[in-house]
Chains A and B, each alone.
Chain A
Amino acid sequence: MSLSTTAEVEETKARNKQLIHEVLEAYPEKYAKRRAKHLGTFEEGKPDCGVKSNIKSVPGVMTIRGCAYAGSKGVVWGPIKDMIHISHGPVGCGQYSWAARRNYYIGITGVDTFVTMQFTSDFQENDIVFGGDKKLSKIMDEIQVLFPLNKGITVQSECPIGLIGDDIEAVAKAKSKQYDGKLIVPVRCEGFRGVSQSLGHHIANDTIRDWVFDKQDGKTSGFVGTPYDVAIIGDYNIGGDAWSSRILLEEMGLRVIAQWSGDGSIAELEATPKAKLNVLHCYRSMNYISRHMEEKYGIPWVEYNFFGPTKIEESLRRIASHFDDPIKEGAERVIAKYKALTQAVIDNYKPRLAGKKVMLFVGGLRPRHVIGAYEDLGMEVVGTGYEFGHNDDYQRTTHYVKDGTLIYDDVTGYEFEKFVERVQPDLVGSGIKEKYVFQKMGVPFRQMHSWDYSGPYHGYDGFAIFARDMDMAINSPVWALTKTPWKTAGKTEAAQAE
């Protein structure tokens, strides 16, 4: 909801057009044309945001994107806590992603859980020349000796694996047989595959289908279901997000039988085909497996959004609509229970935040999902874009953004800097690579991947933290100090020295 007048919106659109024109001028012609397709302005009533997406990044432009390995090991598989995930290839990939994503979990790390550890085959030249299959096989033997309580192993392929022709599937099968049907999952998530993290999510989803679900076919399980079983899909429990979501679902009377994949365990993944409903938070990274479970097991799935009270309320009702009256009443009970808290949070922070403008650039669901939370605090998102979104993400985004919002897909360092310089938002929400760029410019910033080491942001408990953090960023006294007082505006340093 915006209070902007039509004239103001038209002005904004004209400014965006000019701004996009200006940044494109900095590119060589061929690539100005290519980048032009990724930059635009949302026009009310259009079915998407008017930008192309999920296309190869332009070389040399400082894309913010990662790779398929990051999507599989870093996002989908990595948080499954009782399995060991081998970063298969040279040492770096596992090293840079080691424990950095804040997928909270509980367990005895190194004994029965392994998330914040870096297991790697540390490829040497010999492994490239002669292949790494034997080494991989030996690694699994050593894991069995040293980490006997592991419940399974995944092989997260790094770039060289697919290039040197290793047969990790054969190794996985042989070793699984040797260890009495042990769960061993080979994942072909080499970093050069696809155009971003996104393909890694898809590949990882597919391996769960093929190596976890399909292996269960025909086996009996001791799982005893209830009519109220749901699985949380696509919540990575960053700073505890899945926990502050789970508590609400349980309070409304549902039984959460699995978390995918934050604080998740293999038992939970295996139980999921028994769910009555899959509730999907990060559509981008886990829509694949949700669709599969719908097709194969007939489990419906519903997207929800647990950022900010407006969307939480909407989501609780939408989830409840799949169940009978006691659950619907449960949803109303939960909404009522937290009313006082959310009102107090809004009363506390809205006066300090109302009217503030935000620019976002994040991955997954967040470029749209967090907009409601900002609006609950009276803030306005004036620009947003996806690191690795597809067109279906931009379609969904139309329900969140307002007319005239600046849209930038796979934004480059150059573009983002220029956009922020000109639009002058009160807050930028993006990642660690962007954080210090904008803070140097004197623009308040919050990391919206890691919650800047805070969180959770999901659920009612998370909303209080979100509000506090945004206030802390925008209203920090430090921003009053960024200008050197004896340097007056407009004068250069040289002029000062004269």
Chain B
Amino acid sequence: MTQSATHVLDHFDLFRQPEYKEMLENKRKNFENPVAAEELERVREWTKTGEYREQNFARSALTVNPAKACQPLGAVFAAVGFESTLPFVHGSQGCVAYYRSHFSRHFKEPCSCVSSSMTEDAAVFGGLNNMIDGLANAHSLYKPKMISVSTTCMAEVIGDDLNAFIKTAKEKGSVPADFDVPFAHTPAFVGSHITGYDNVMKGIFEHFWDGKANTAPKLERVPNEKINFIGGFDGYTVGNLREIKRIFNLMQVGYTILGDNSDVWDTPTDGTFRMYDGGTTLEDAANAVHAKATISMQQYCTEKTLAFIGTHGQEVLALNHPVGVAATDKFLMEVSRITGKGIPEELAKERGRVVDAIADSSAHIHGKKFALYGDPDLCLGLAGFLLELGAEPTHVLATNGNKEWIERVQALFDSSPFGKNCHVYAGKDLWHMRSLLFTEPVDFLIGNTYGKFLERDTGTPLIRIGFPIFDRHHHHRYPVWGYQGAMNVLVWILDKIFDEIDKNTIVPGKTDFSFDIIR
């Protein structure tokens, strides 16, 4: 017995004690019918080979460790970006428990969201009563200003009609007739979480601009000088949106952030639980129709939304999660072009500081190979930055990428000499990535928390950038956009590079040369 009341050993150390090691070895040997050691080793080595890679890439039905989630997750992300808005997911209730847990594990924040709790009877008779009762209860208990309805795959498979259901619920008095209940069908078997984000954003603007499901006159656009800004599904939404506001304020641009999650997912601990905090006001969401233009930071999160906004007489501009100097330059110059506002000296100085930082450190990054996975826009943004740093984004993978995205990434590779030996993979998963890392090794891997399994298997050091990040805290509070964001990403990459160099030179009498104090 090694446990102690004064020096408590928990799982990290407890199970490494001799009594537990012996116990677990006996369990394995006597009861688990384990695979023979040689066979295990043979298969393990085989999974690292080119032959395995070939078979792995030949699969057409099985998905293993995908880097994407389903539409309804993105639906909830979009909905909570509006003032006092309660996401209401029509379908099975377990789904909502999952979205709430998922966001809470990433942001370390509460995530309020309700379900219409459909069960077997609703599967047979439809979920109309669940909608009627659910809206009434949610409205009474949680006093939202708006309820944003989306669906799970259950409601989609049985074909529930949200528009009709919400209309009936209002007739039955679940919520006042003029209460805002935008909706979007978000089937989990189409697209991914970024599609759900897109559908809900579009649904909300359709609601406010196009006559609230035939219950109000359509808005007449009276153009003004403001611009709209949409961040997209973004694990760094807290830091990013605050940074964007700072930039817009410096440029004296009149703006509306559409879907502003920065406060609701960064509430203070001061004795009060805020179910709702911040968010785009409903008035601003409606008035956004009058804006001069809408800029989306993530093209693939806003394809339908931007198309919809475009039909309402605004200029629309889609970027691809700009990270780094040139991408930020482009973003700022576009904002400047659209608004006619100059880019202040302060931002030019910030730019110069990032360039300074890159110049200081580039020798450590130059020529390093990276594997990278994430949402399509994030991949484009990060790959662009790596090329700018003189690094090679050797493998770029998006499970929810499409053919058009492949072309975009290829064009990016082609634009730089560092992109020459780089490859792009759409529709592939992290088990494919495992084969890539074994057969075409790289120096570093960039991805979300699940990348730690790849790091463990292949020894490729993981730099955590993406969503979700469950096992590191608070990075979502830092921007990755703007020059300040470029600085953060640069530092995260450098920290890992230097940590690795130290780790590889730390054994006295063996690898102690190169264990330098100045790098």
Contacts and interface: CB of A to CB of B under 8 A. Distances in A.
A460 B508 CA distance: 40
Interface string A235-267: 000011001101100100000111100010111
Contacts of A250: 23
A243 B15 contact: yes
A128 B453 CA distance: 31
B115 A454 contact: no
5 contacts: A56-B117, A61-B114, A98-B450, A121-B61, A194-B119
B469 interface: no
Given A57-B117, A160-B189, A191 B95 contact: yes
Given A111-B43, A192-B119, A163 B157 contact: yes
B459 interface: no
Given A97-B98, A112-B34, 6 more contacts: A61-B137, A63-B97, A116-B453, A146-B62, A263-B27, A440-B274
B59 A56 contact: no
A148 B52 CA distance: 12
Interface stretch (A209-217, A293-301, A368-376, A409-417): A409-417
Nearest to A258: B31
A64 to B, nearest CB: 7
A422 B395 CA distance: 55
A202 to B, nearest CB: 14
A460 B3 contact: yes
A58 B133 contact: yes
A106 B5 CA distance: 27
Contact of B93 (A30, A57, A99, A338): A57
Contacts of A347: 5
Contact of A66 (B4, B94, B188): B94
B140 interface: yes
A159 interface: yes
B457 interface: yes
A442 interface: yes
- Which of B11, B64, B431 gathers most chain A CB within 10 Å? B11
B32 A82 contact: yes
A59 to B, nearest CB: 3
B100 interface: yes
A91 B68 contact: yes
B117 A341 contact: no
Interface residues of A, number: 128
B164 interface: no
Interface residues of B, number: 109
A460 to B, nearest CB: 7
A27 B137 contact: yes
A440 B273 contact: yes
Nearest to B5: A344
Contacts, number: 350
A119 B59 CA distance: 13
Contact of A433 (B39, B110, B456): B110
A62 B52 CA distance: 46
A315 to B, nearest CB: 18
Contacts of A141: 61
B33 A265 contact: yes
A465 interface: yes
A458 to B, nearest CB: 12
Given A62-B112, A417-B273, A437-B110, A121 B4 contact: no
Interface in B135-164: 135-142, 152-154, 157-158
Contacts of B368: none
B28 interface: yes
Given A123-B189, A341-B5, A62 B23 contact: no
Contacts of B14: 240, 244, 456, 461, 465
B117 A59 contact: yes
B118 interface: yes
A324 interface: no
Interface stretch (B69-77, B239-247, B380-388): B69-77
Interface string B97-128: 11111101100111111111111101100000
Given A65-B94, A95-B66, A108-B40, A146 B59 contact: yes
B341 to A, nearest CB: 32
A92 B95 contact: yes
A96 B69 contact: yes
Contacts of B252: none
Contacts of A441: 271-273
Contact of B117 (A63, A266, A271, A478): A63
B66 A436 contact: no
Contacts of A344: 4-6
Interface string B181-220: 0000001111010000000000000000000000000000
Interface of B: 1, 3-6, 8-11, 14-15, 19-20, 23-24, 27-28, 31-35, 39-40, 43-44, 47, 52, 55-56, 59-66, 68-70, 72-73, 88, 91-95, 97-102, 104-105, 108-120, 122-123, 130-131, 133-142, 152-154, 157-158, 187-190, 192, 267-274, 431, 434, 450, 453, 456-457, 470
A116 to B, nearest CB: 7
A347 to B, nearest CB: 7
Contacts of B40: 108, 111-112, 149
Interface of A: 26-28, 30-31, 56-70, 82, 89-93, 95-100, 104, 106, 108-112, 116-125, 127-128, 135-136, 138-139, 141-143, 145-146, 148-149, 151, 158-160, 162-164, 191-195, 197, 239-240, 243-244, 246-247, 250, 256-259, 263, 265-268, 271, 337-338, 341, 344-345, 347-349, 412-414, 417, 431-433, 435-442, 454-456, 460-461, 464-465, 467-468, 478, 482-484
A159 B269 contact: no
A92 B188 contact: yes
Given A28-B136, A112-B40, A247-B23, A440 B272 contact: yes
Nearest to A240: B11
Nearest to A89: B153
B273 A433 contact: no
Contacts of B153: 89-90, 123, 128, 158-160
A82 B35 CA distance: 10
A442 B274 CA distance: 12
Contacts of B269: 439-440, 442, 478, 482
B289 to A, nearest CB: 30
A431 to B, nearest CB: 8
A460 B431 CA distance: 40
A391 B6 CA distance: 41
A442 B271 contact: yes
Given A62-B114, A345-B5, A143 B98 contact: no
Nearest to B141: A414
Nearest to B97: A66
Nearest to B90: A59
A191 B88 CA distance: 17
A111 B47 contact: yes
B62 A267 contact: no
Given A59-B134, A149-B39, A193-B119, A122 B66 contact: yes
Given A91-B188, A164-B157, A139 B62 contact: yes
Nearest to B70: A92
A453 B221 CA distance: 52
